[in-house]
Amino acid sequence: MAALAEMVGADLYSCVRVVVYTTDMYRYRPMCNEVQIELWGDDANTYPPRTIIEVDRLNEDDIVEVEGTFYAPHLNKKKPGH
């Protein structure tokens, strides 16, 4: 996710929302929490809003899938004359 954000000139702190899909909330929520700390640090004030949803199955039998929404206003700027 960090690499994709960087490709458009954003960073992890530009993330405005995270949705995590998991096949087992009880087993994988602690792992999701650890990854969140690795990405955004120990200060919960720096975390984007997060929703975790338990699903029956994910693509290719993955255990976790993450969707991130980023704020990148510079991508919407039109060039003069367009």
Domains of the chain, earliest start first: 2-73 (3.30.1330.40)
**Separation of alpha carbons 21 and 28, rounded Å:** 10
Q: What is the pLDDT of residues 1-16, one digit of tens each?
A: 888 888 888 899 999 9
**Separation of alpha carbons 15 and 77, rounded Å:** 19
Q: What is the pLDDT of residues 13-71, one digit of tens each?
A: 999 999 999 999 999 999 999 999 999 999 999 999 999 999 999 999 999 999 999 99
Please give the model's pTM, rounded to 2 decimal places: 0.81
pLDDT of residue 2: 85
Handedness of CA 27, 45, 53, 75 (dihedral sign): negative
Structure confidence at residue 82 as a pLDDT band (50, 70, 90): low
